[in-house]
C-alpha cells in the first residue's frame, strides 16, 4: 500500500510535528510509533560508512580521502567508490550518508582539507556529482556538506565569512549548484560558520533564495551536528532538521507557537519533507532497523587498492629512480613510523574501524621476499602531537586477550564508582569517545565511567603517560594516582576542540612487568562553551596516551640503517592528529624530525620519499632526494597501493587537484587565514583561489595544479581548428590527439583550460573546463574531444543577479597536461548570449 505523506501530515499532532523536526537521538530522526512512522538513521561520512561508533563498532571499508579521489581525475572510479559506500551504508542499517564534503581547499593549512576534493570548484562539482550518483544508485541519500564556506576549522562555530557575491557564486557555491542540477542529492547539511553576518543554518539568502528558489532544491536541509543557532529563524530560513537529539527545537518551538512568534502551519512544509525522505528511503516498507554489519569483499578491496594507486601522484623521478626492480635489489631500507603504522585517513568525523589496514613495510617486504632482498627498518623520530594511544597489545582488557580496555558505567549517584555498574564492555585502544554510544539508560544524564586494563611495558624506563578528556578524569597505576585532570580550565584541539589540554607525567616502569591501569571519569562538565554549538560540549570521553622512553638518536639510527642499502624508501607525512576536524595546521612543515631524517638519509643512499598527507607540505629536501610520491591518505589498502606504484605494478597516473606552494606566504589567502579580525575572515582573494592565483599573479608554485609524472611519456597536440564557435544547440567541440611516446603502458589526464574575455594569456590556466583520462599502450594515439559547459563560459553578474555569457565574447582555450603545461591553444567565440540562475 502506497504511503500518502499528505494524509500522514494531517494526522500528526503539534507535538509530533515538532519532534520530527529534530533528531530523536544522535544518529536518528524521531519515530512516531502511533502512526507507524519509523526513524531514518544517518552515518558519517568522509572515510566510509562508519555506523554509530567511532572505532569500536562493526568494521567498515576505509576509502581513500577525497583529495586522492580527485587526484584520479576519473569520474567512473569515483562513482564506483560511491556505489561501494552505498552498500556499506545499507550494511550499517542506515539510509543517509553524511558525505560528500564539497567545500574547497582554500588554504593549504585547512585542517579538514583531506575531506575536500580540490581547490577547484568545477572539478569538485564534477567528481562530487559522480560520488553522489554512485551512492544514490544504491538507494542511499547523499548529504552535500558543508553549505557553505566552511573552509577552516579555527573557531568554526563562530567565524563570520565576509565574501562578495561574485566570489561566493562562482567559487564556493558552484560545486553545490552543479551537483543539485545534475544529480538531485536528497540532503544538504548547513555549515557551522556565518556567511556575511548570518549563521548558515538560519541564512535565508543561502537556504531560501539560492537553494530553494533559484536552484529548485526539493530535498531536506539538516544542521551540522549541534549547529542550530535559533528556533524560529532557522525554521523560516529553510532548515528542516536539527541534528542531533536531544535538540533545542523541542524546547523552543512549542512556546514560540503558543506565543504567536510562528504559526503551526509553518511547520508543515519541513515536516512533509522529512516524511518524503522517510518514504523515499523505503523505511515504511522496512521499518525494522537491521543490525550493523561490515560489507567486506575481495571485489571491494580490489577496487580500493586500484583507486588508491591511481590517485597517487609521482612528483619527482630523477634519472628514473622509479620503478624499483626487485631483481636488482640486495638491501632495501624502509624508514619512518608511518611505514608500519600508516595514516589511512584524517581525524574527526573521518575516524572509523577498518576491515583491515595494510602497511607499506609489509607490502614492500612481500614484493622483494621472493628475490632474496634484505629489508631493513628504522622507525625514525616521533611525530605525535598527543602521546600515542596504546594499540599494539601493550595494554589488554580484563579478559587478558583483547587489546584495549574494559569500561564500566555508573549512574549519577554512583560517581564514587561504588555499587554495581549498569553495564560493562570493552573498547579497542585507549580512545573513549561517547557520542551516542553510552548505555541508553544514562544518556543525557551526568554519569561516571571507569576504564581498566593491564599494561605490560616492552622496555624498562621512565615512560610517559597522558590524559586528555571531556569531563574529569584521574589515572591510576596499581591504585596509585599518577595523573589528576579532574579540574581543568583550558581547552585543546582534542574531542572536536571541547577536550582538555593534554596532561602528562613520567613513571618508571619495568619491562615485562604487568601494571594495573585505571582511569576514573565523570561525564558532562560544567559549561565551558563560548562557541555556538549545542552538541560536543555535552559529550563524554577520555584519551590515554603512552610512550616508552626513547634512549637512542632515531635520526642517526635511520641514517646508519640506510647506509649501505641500495635504496631507502622513507614513508613520511601527517597523522590524524595533525590533519583533523576541529583545528587547522599552523605550518606546511612535516611534524617531528621528519625533514631532518630525510636529509640525513639522502646524504648516504638513493632516497625515495613517500608522503602521506591530505594537503600540501613544504619540501626543503626536494633537491636532495631521487623521487617523491604524494600518496595522500589512501585508506585501508595504502600499503599495497604504495608497493604497486613503487615497483611499477601500477604506472602512476594521478594528477594534483591542488597547488603545492613554495612558501606559505604564496598562498592566495595567506593574509586572511584563519582570521582577518576577531572571529571574522575576509575572502579578499575573491575568485583567485588556488591555481587561478598562481597563474594570474605569476607566482611560481612548487608543483602546479594538474601536475603528475608517469613512468612513460606522452605528447598532446591540438587538432581542432584555429577558431571554434559555440551555441547552446551546437556546443564547440575541442579535440586533441594524445600519444604514448614512451616504452610502457600508461594513463594520461588530458586537461582543458579556458581564459575568459578580456584576459591575456600568461602562462595559461584561468579555469579548468574539461578533462579525460586516457589509457594508452606504447606508441598508441587517440583523439579526445571535449564540450564546454555553461559554467566554463559564464560569470556571475552581481548587478543583474544572474550568470551571464555574452554574445561575441572571445575566449582562449588550451589543452595540455597541467595548468602550466598547455601546448595546444585555440580561440572560441560565443555566437549567442546566455543567462541563468
Q: Are 548 and 457 in contact (CB under 8 A)?
A: yes
User: Which residues sit opposite 22 in a β-bridge?
Assistant: 242
Q: Are 90 and 139 in contact (CB under 8 A)?
A: yes
Could you give the 3-state DSSP secondary structure of residue 464? strand
Short-list 598, 546, 631, CA closest to 360 = 631
Q: Are 673 and 684 in contact (CB under 8 A)?
A: no
Could you give the 3-state DSSP secondary structure of residue 210? helix
Among candidate residues 120, 160, 224, 520, the one labeled active-site is 224
DSSP one-letter code for 699: P
* Strands 627-630 and 607-612, sheet pairing: parallel
Burial 267-284 (b: 16+ CB within 10 A, else e): beebbbbbbbbbbbbebb
Q: Are 308 and 357 in contact (CB under 8 A)?
A: no
DSSP symbols for 6-52: HHHHHH--HHHHHHHTBBSSSSBBPPBGGGTB---BEE--TTS---S
Grid coordinates in use for 443?
A: 544518556
Q: Hey, what long-range contacts does 368-372 have (CB within 8 A, 24 or more apart)?
A: 368/326, 368/329, 368/332, 370/326, 371/326, 371/327, 371/329, 372/330
Task: Name residues whose C-beta falls within 8 Å of residue 806's C-beta, 6 or more positions apart in sequence.
Answer: 757, 830, 833
Neighbours of 686 (CB within 10 A): 16
Grid coordinates in use for 423?
A: 553495564
Distance CA 404, CA 392 (A): 9
Burial of 34 (0-12, 13-18, 19+ CB in 10 A): exposed
Could you give the 3-state DSSP secondary structure of residue 664? helix
Q: Are 93 and 141 in contact (CB under 8 A)?
A: no
Q: Are 559 and 603 in contact (CB under 8 A)?
A: yes
Cis peptide before 244 (omega within 30 of 0): yes
Query: Distance from first CA to last CA of the chain, Å, rounded?
Result: 39
Alpha-helical runs (H) found in 466-544: none
Distance CA 458, CA 454 (A): 13
Distance CA 96, CA 283 (A): 12
Q: Are 64 and 115 in contact (CB under 8 A)?
A: no
Q: Is 224 a catalytic residue?
A: yes
Q: Are 60 and 51 in contact (CB under 8 A)?
A: yes
CB-facing half-sphere around the CA of 665: CA atoms within 13 A: 0
- Calculate the alpha carbon distances from 273 to 241, 277, 436, 602 in Å: 9, 6, 25, 60
Distance CA 351, CA 511 (A): 32
Distance CA 800, CA 570 (A): 55
Chain centroid to Cα 359, Å, comes to 20
Q: Are 662 and 588 in contact (CB under 8 A)?
A: no
Distance CA 289, CA 299 (A): 26
- The angle that helices 75-91 and 121-136 make with each other, rounded to 10 degrees, is 40
Which residues are designated catalytic? Answer: 224
Amino acid at each position: 500500500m502506497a504511503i500518502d505523506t499528505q494524509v500522514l501530515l494531517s494526522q500528526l499532532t503539534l507535538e509530533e510535528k515538532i519532534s520530527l523536526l529534530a533528531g530523536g537521538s544522535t544518529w536518528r530522526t524521531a519515530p512516531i510509533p502511533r502512526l507507524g512512522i519509523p526513524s531514518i538513521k544517518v552515518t558519517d561520512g568522509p572515510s566510509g560508512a562508519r555506523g554509530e561508533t567511532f572505532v569500536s563498532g562493526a568494521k567498515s571499508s576505509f576509502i581513500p580521502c577525497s583529495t586522492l579521489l580527485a587526484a584520479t581525475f576519473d569520474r567512473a572510479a569515483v562513482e564506483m567508490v560511491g556505489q561501494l559506500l552505498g552498500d556499506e551504508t545499507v550494511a550499517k542499517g542506515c539510509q543517509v550518508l553524511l558525505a560528500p564534503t564539497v567545500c574547497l581547499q582554500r588554504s593549504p593549512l585547512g585542517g579538514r582539507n583531506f575531506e575536500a576534493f580540490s581547490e577547484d570548484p568545477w572539478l569538485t562539482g564534477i567528481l562530487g556529482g559522480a560520488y553522489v550518483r554512485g551512492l544514490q544508485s544504491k538507494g542511499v541519500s547523499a548529504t552535500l556538506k558543508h553549505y557553505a564556506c566552511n573552509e577552516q576549522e579555527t573557531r568554526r562555530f563562530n567565524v563570520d565569512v565576509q565574501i562578495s557575491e561574485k566570489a561566493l557564486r562562482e567559487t564556493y557555491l558552484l560545486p553545490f549548484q552543479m551537483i543539485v542540477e545534475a544529480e538531485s542529492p536528497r540532503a544538504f547539511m548547513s555549515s557551522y560558520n556565518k556567511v556575511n553576518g548570518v549563521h548558515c543554518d538560519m541564512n535565508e539568502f543561502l537556504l531560501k533564495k539560492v537553494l530553494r528558489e533559484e536552484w529548485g532544491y526539493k530535498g531536506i536541509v539538516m544542521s551540522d551536528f549541534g549547529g542550530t543557532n535559533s528556533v524560529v529563524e532557522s525554521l523560516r530560513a529553510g532548515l528542516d532538521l536539527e541534528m542531533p537529539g536531544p535538540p533545542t527545537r523541542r524546547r523552543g518551538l512549542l512556546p514560540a507557537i503558543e506565543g504567536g512568534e510562528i504559526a503551526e502551519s509553518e511547520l508543515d512544509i519541513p515536516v512533509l519533507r522529512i516524511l518524503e525522505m522517510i518514504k523515499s528511503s523505503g523505511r515504511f516498507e522496512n521499518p525494522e532497523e537491521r543490525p550493523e554489519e561490515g560489507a567486506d569483499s575481495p571485489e571491494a578491496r580490489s577496487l580500493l587498492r586500484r583507486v588508491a594507486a591511481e590517485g597517487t601522484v609521482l612528483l619527482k623521478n630523477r634519472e628514473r629512480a622509479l620503478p624499483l626492480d626487485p631483481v636488482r635489489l640486495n638491501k632495501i631500507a624502509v624508514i619512518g613510523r608511518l611505514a608500519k603504522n600508516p595514516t589511512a585517513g584524517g581525524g574527526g568525523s573521518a575516524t572509523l574501524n577498518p576491515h583491515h589496514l595494510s602497511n607499506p613495510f609489509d607490502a614492500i617486504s612481500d614484493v622483494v621476499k621472493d628475490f632474496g632482498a634484505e629489508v631493513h627498518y628504522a622507525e625514525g623520530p616521533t611525530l605525535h602531537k598527543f602521546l600515542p594511544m596504546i594499540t599494539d597489545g601493550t595494554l589488554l582488557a580484563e579478559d587478558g586477550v583483547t587489546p584495549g580496555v574494559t569500561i564500566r558505567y555508573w549512574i549519577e549517584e554512583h560517581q564514587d564508582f561504588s555499587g554495581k555498574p549498569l553495564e560493562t564492555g570493552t573498547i579497542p585502544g585507549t580512545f573513549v569517545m561517547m557520542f551516542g554510544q553510552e548505555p541508553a539508560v544514562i544518556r543525557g544524564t551526568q554519569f561516571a565511567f571507569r576504564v581498566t586494563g593491564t599494561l605490560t611495558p616492552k622496555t624498562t624506563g621512565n615512560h610517559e603517560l597522558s590524559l586528555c578528556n571531556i569531563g574529569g578524569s584521574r589515572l591510576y597505576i596499581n591504585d596509585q594516582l599518577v595523573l589528576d585532570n579532574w579540574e581543568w580550565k583550558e581547552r585543546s584541539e582534542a574531542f572536536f576542540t571541547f577536550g582538555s589540554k593534554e596532561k602528562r607525567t613520567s613513571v618508571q616502569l619495568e619491562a615485562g612487568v604487568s601494571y594495573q591501569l585505571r582511569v576514573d571519569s565523570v561525564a558532562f562538565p560544567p559549561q565551558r562553551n563560548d562557541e555556538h554549538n549545542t552538541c560536543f560540549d555535552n559529550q563524554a570521553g577520555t584519551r590515554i596516551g603512552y610512550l616508552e622512553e626513547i634512549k637512542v638518536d632515531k635520526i642517526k639510527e635511520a641514517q646508519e640503517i640506510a647506509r649501505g642499502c641500495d635504496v631507502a624508501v622513507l614513508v613520511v607525512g601527517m597523522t590524524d592528529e595533525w590533519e583533523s576536524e576541529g583545528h587547522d595546521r599552523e605550518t606546511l612543515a612535516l611534524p617531528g624530525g621528519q625533514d631532518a631524517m630525510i636529509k640525513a638519509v639522502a646524504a648516504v643512499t638513493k632516497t625515495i620519499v613517500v608522503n602521506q598527507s591530505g594537503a600540501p607540505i613544504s619540501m626543503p629536501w626536494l633537491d636532495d632526494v631521487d623521487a617523491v610520491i604524494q600518496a595522500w591518505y589512501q585508506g585501508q589498502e595504502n600499503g599495497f597501493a604504495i608497493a604497486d606504484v613503487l615497483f611499477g605494478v601500477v604506472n602512476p597516473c594521478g594528477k594534483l587537484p591542488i597547488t603545492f606552494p613554495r612558501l606559505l606566504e604564496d598562498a592566495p589567502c595567506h593574509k586572511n587565514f584563519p582570521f582577518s579580525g576577531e572571529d571574522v575572515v575576509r575572502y579578499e582573494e575573491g575568485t583567485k583561489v588556488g591555481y587561478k592565483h598562481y597563474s594570474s599573479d605569476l607566482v611560481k608554485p612548487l608543483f602546479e595544479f594538474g601536475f603528475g609524472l608517469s613512468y612513460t611519456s606522452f605528447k598532446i597536440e591540438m587538432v581542432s581548428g584555429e577558431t571554434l564557435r559555440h551555441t547552446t544547440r551546437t556546443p564547440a567541440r575541442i579535440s586533441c590527439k594524445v600519444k604514448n611516446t614512451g616504452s610502457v603502458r600508461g594513463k594520461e589526464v588530458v586537461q582543458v583550460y579556458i581564459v575568459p574575455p578580456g584576459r591575456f594569456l600568461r602562462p595559461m590556466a584561468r579555469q579548468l573546463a574539461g578533462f579525460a583520462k586516457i589509457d594508452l599502450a606504447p606508441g598508441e594515439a587517440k583523439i579526445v574531444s571535449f564540450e564546454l559547459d555553461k559554467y566554463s563560459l559564464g560569470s556571475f553578474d552581481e548587478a543583474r543577479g544572474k550568470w551571464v555569457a555574452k554574445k561575441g565574447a572571445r575566449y582562449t582555450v588550451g589543452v595540455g597536461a597541467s595548468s602550466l603545461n598547455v601546448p595546444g591553444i585555440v580561440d572560441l567565440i560565443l555566437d549567442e548570449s546566455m543567462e541563468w540562475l
